[in-house]
Chain A
Amino acid sequence: MADLSLVRRSADDLAQALAAGEVSAVEVTEAHLDRIAAVDEAVHSFLHVDGEGARAAAAAVDDRRAAGEALGPLAGVPIAVKDVMTTVGMPTTCGSRILEGWRPPYDATLVTRLRQAGMVLLGKTNMDEFAMGSSTENSAYGPTGNPWDTSRIPGGSGGGSAAALAAFEAPLAIGTDTGGSIRQPAAVTGTVGVKPTYGGVSRYGLVAFSSSLDQAGPAARTVLDTALLHAVIAGHDPRDSTSIDTAVPDVVTAARAGALPDGIRGLRIGVVRELGGEGYQPGVEARFREAVDLLAARGAEVVEVSCPSFAYALSAYYLIAPSECSSNLARFDGMRYGLRVGDDGTRSAEEVMSLTRGAGFGAEVKRRIMIGTYALSSGYYDAYYGSAQKVRTLISRDYAAAFEQVDVLVSPTTPTTAFQIGERVDDPLAMYKADLCTIPANLAGICAGSFPCGLADEDGLPVGLHVMAPAMADDRLYRVGAALEAALAASWGGPLTTLVPDLPTTTEVPA
């Protein structure tokens, strides 16, 4: 039976209990595996659960602790990893049929760091195919339900990681964010998710979608937990040529300091004028305004800031990301790994390649490959891809000007709360709008995070506050997030996820 007292605790609490010897890593791991067994039929956060590997990793940590070894702060704490990071001993499918059952021969650097920190990998989480989507409905292995209402989407592309947190299947999770895939799922599941500065966390072993935008990052139910995970995974990696070779901002200290009564006194906060108004759900705007007022009440100076080029960010993104994806996904050719279709001894490699990709990719991946192929083709390159690159410059200039005036920028994370599964699945433009507020940060390479700010009045579903800070000022996100959490947690009785309704379980709970 799932030990709810263990699975509902924060990673920081668990880490302290583990260090004090109050509980073993094996017990913590068993509790989470039990919880997954009980609720994952209803939620479907996981594509693969590695019970055996998790138990072995937990036992190894317990042995090392018993032997008196000095262990990292999160040693023995379980974590769920998005299925876009390569893992030895577990499949890596990226939510695609073309990689069904693929077992990578190497670990992503981020995964290596988790293992070195003594963390317990529970399994791989569901996602939109190759991280292309905002709802996790584009997974070839079926959708994930939002634990707040399983008929609704958990956001995407990292809906599995966010849902695992909100369903108490894992206290920590890894996401990746190309246009909002960590932050938007965090917002709609009432959890915390941070996209670090581009280059802040290694991309080695992160299956590439759009290389100039992709960024892996941490997710959890509390701000401090997210910071603790950030500190484990961040830092320079010689295997990623775009990795930044400077000291990681002290996000853990910032998360602790931000929660103090004077934690954000004097901090200058800019509300982005262009990210609100028409198309934004009233309940989202109401919670957002309250969050900003709470931050002001704790001593922050709030001003309105204009970023006029953000109006073109969505368009620029849906040219740049598909263009890079059409190139990156050329590697899936059915020759060295993954699916191969139609190799009957008569067909050529080119024919087999086309058949494999036609059968192995889903609708959204095909759409984006086609858009990218079009945007990069001669005759259209300047009007589409070239123009999008210029918009990227304009957006970076908007941020630079804004950060002259303020320390951080804020907006709602997403214009609406979680929508119904199926509602936007064949309406790409409606789906793309879920990432309206999150995309500009990826285009400029700055850091940004989403922090819970309550439930919308009209549907009782979570709303996120989106905080953006300059490159390598990731600590500011945690400072603001922690201040908001400190201001609101008492009214919720803990993190917002404390209010998640009970999920149907597949095993009986003893009376």
Chain B
Amino acid sequence: MTAITPDEVAHLARLARLDLADDELAHLAGQLDVILTAVADVSQVATADVPPTSHPLPLTNVTRPDVVTPSLTPDEALAAAPTAEDGRFRVPRILDEEV
């Protein structure tokens, strides 16, 4: 596999919503490269005839009866919010200025 550049790491960090300092980006670039090279051996045995496993249990669509059950009160739900206002979570603006 090809080496990961600091630019690619910066792109990944944006996708992952992680604000990283330049020194973190540089340090991570080297480490990600080593790790991804080491784990790339999975492709050696993953031949076309092997089906993938996403989960250890063969479960499909587990449902419960459609009955109302007790849940959190608004006060309980908001108790740990960084900021709340009028019984709602207060969040920063959701649109960027250039949009």
Contacts and interface: CB of A to CB of B under 8 A. Distances in A.
Contacts of A232: none
B51 A393 contact: yes
A224 interface: no
B39 A384 contact: yes
A290 B2 CA distance: 46
Contacts of A446: 56
Interface string B62-99: 10100000001000110111110000010111111100
10 closest residue pairs by CB, A with B: A445-B56, A358-B19, A389-B52, A387-B46, A340-B82, A390-B46, A337-B80, A241-B62, A315-B39, A392-B53
A391 B46 contact: yes
B16 A389 contact: no
B22 to A, nearest CB: 12
Interface residues of B, number: 57
A506 interface: no
A333 B55 contact: no
B7 interface: no
Contact of A337 (B14, B18, B81): B81
Interface of B: 1, 4, 9, 12-21, 24, 28, 31-32, 34-36, 38-47, 50-57, 59, 62, 64, 72, 76-77, 79-83, 89, 91-97
Contacts of A337: 80-82
B86 to A, nearest CB: 15
Interface string A155-197: 0000000000000000000000000000000000000000000
Interface of A is mostly: helix
Contacts, number: 181
24 contacts: A104-B80, A105-B72, A212-B55, A238-B64, A337-B80, A339-B82, A343-B92, A351-B92, A359-B19, A366-B20, A370-B28, A371-B32, A371-B35, A374-B32, A384-B42, A387-B43, A390-B46, A390-B47, A391-B42, A391-B45, A392-B52, A394-B50, A443-B56, A471-B56
Interface in A192-244: 198-199, 212, 238, 241-242, 244
Contacts of A326: 16
Nearest to B37: A429
A392 B57 CA distance: 12
Interface residues of A, number: 72
A347 B92 contact: yes
B76 A390 contact: no
Contact of B80 (A242, A338, A353): A338
A377 interface: yes
Given A367-B35, A377-B15, A390-B45, A348 B94 contact: yes
Given A333-B17, A350-B96, A366-B24, A105 B55 contact: no
Nearest to B49: A390
A383 interface: yes
Contact of A103 (B38, B50, B80): B80
Contacts of B12: 370, 373-374, 377
Contacts of A241: 59, 62
A392 B54 CA distance: 8
A428 B35 contact: yes
A106 interface: yes
A368 to B, nearest CB: 9
A366 B82 CA distance: 22
B42 A388 contact: yes
A396 interface: yes
A357 interface: yes
Given A106-B72, A367-B31, A396-B53, A343 B18 contact: no
Nearest to B19: A358
A312 interface: yes
A91 to B, nearest CB: 10
B57 A199 contact: yes
A444 interface: yes
Given A106-B72, A318-B35, A374-B12, A343 B82 contact: yes
Nearest to A315: B39
A88 to B, nearest CB: 10
Given A241-B62, A326-B16, A374-B36, A428 B31 contact: yes
